[in-house]
């Protein structure tokens, strides 16, 4: 299955495309996102010398339905944003491609990494073209089952391995989520979230490679 890196031209009539092109020095990092056909919700980290004027600009946009400032440091801010124009992520939603998070947008260009089937990668390109979104495939490489660990971050591998060694996935279970979290000295919610993301990546990979979808 291919692992691809793409540069995506974010349309300038979207809030993030317009403002990132107007402020080319700012990094907009999409930490996580829930795209939909009509609206999209995401956590966006701003990396800039002074986030407050940019936050004001975002808030004034007609395509921003809701904005919450979750935290702010001197040169960073984390926002939860609901937009009524989720156009940049619609191709991902329609192609059914898991997009690696977080990803950066700077000067109107997003950097995406995806690991999926050849068919779905081709479908992603088709949907980008259908919506008039320019893109460039920077690199494509094939990975096989022996490389499946590359689907997971180092943290996900660490937590997943700890859960396996503790017998969390045995039937009946030999440890609880709380015991796995305690062994790693992390919160239960953090442990659950990391395991859920790791399981999701593995399941998507298995389904794409070994089952008809």
**Residues 102 and 130 occupy one common structural domain:** yes
**Residues 117 and 169 occupy one common structural domain:** no
**DSSP element (H, E) containing 152:** none
**Residues 83 and 163 occupy one common structural domain:** no
**Residues 110 and 14 occupy one common structural domain:** yes
| Last residue within a domain, chosen from 142, 161, 178 | 142
**Residues 51 and 90 occupy one common structural domain:** yes
Please state the φ and ψ torsions of residue 37, each to the nearest 5 degrees.
-70, -35
| Last residue within a domain, chosen from 142, 163, 182 | 142
Model confidence pLDDT, tens digit, residues 143-156: 665 555 567 888 88
**Arithmetic mean of pLDDT, 17-36:** 93
- Among 101, 84, 97, 102, which residue's Cα sits nearest to residue 36? 84
Q: What pLDDT does 118 receive? A: 87
Residue 91 is part of which domain span?
2-142
**Arithmetic mean of pLDDT, 112-136:** 92
* Residue 194's CATH number: 1.10.10
Percent residues over pLDDT 90 in the chain: 64
Q: Give the chain's domain count.
A: 2
**Residues 135 and 162 occupy one common structural domain:** no
**Residues 11 and 74 occupy one common structural domain:** yes
pTM of the model: 0.67
Arithmetic mean of pLDDT over the chain = 89
**Residues 88 and 15 occupy one common structural domain:** yes
Written as six digits, the tokens of 165 are 């060694």
Q: What pLDDT does 210 receive? A: 62
Question: Listing from the earlier edge strand, what are the strands of the sheet with 109-115?
Answer: 64-72, 76-83, 40-47, 27-35, 103-106, 109-115, 2-9, 135-142
**Residues 10 and 79 occupy one common structural domain:** yes
- DSSP lists the bridge partners of residue 136 as 7
**Residues 19 and 107 occupy one common structural domain:** yes
């Amino acid at each position: 299955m291919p692992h691809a890196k793409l540069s995506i031209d974010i349309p300038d009539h979207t809030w993030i495309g317009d403002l990132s092109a107007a402020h080319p020095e700012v990094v907009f990092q999409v930490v996580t996102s829930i795209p939909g056909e009509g609206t999209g919700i995401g956590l966006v980290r701003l990396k800039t010398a002074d986030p407050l004027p940019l936050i004001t600009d975002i808030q004034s946009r007609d395509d921003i339905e809701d904005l919450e400032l979750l935290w702010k440091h001197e040169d960073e801010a984390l926002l939860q944003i609901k937009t009524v124009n989720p156009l940049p992520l619609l191709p991902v939603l329609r192609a059914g491609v898991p997009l690696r998070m977080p990803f950066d947008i700077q000067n109107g260009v997003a950097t995406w990494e995806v690991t999926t089937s050849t068919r779905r990668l081709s479908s992603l390109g088709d949907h980008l073209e259908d919506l008039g979104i320019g893109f460039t495939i920077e690199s494509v490489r094939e990975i096989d089952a022996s490389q499946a660990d590359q689907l997971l971050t180092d943290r996900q591998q660490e937590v997943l391995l700890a859960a396996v060694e503790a017998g969390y996935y045995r039937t009946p279970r030999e440890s609880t989520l709380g015991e796995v979290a305690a062994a790693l000295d992390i919160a239960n919610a953090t442990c659950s979230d990391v395991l859920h993301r790791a399981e999701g990546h593995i399941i998507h990979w298995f389904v794409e490679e070994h089952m008809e979808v």
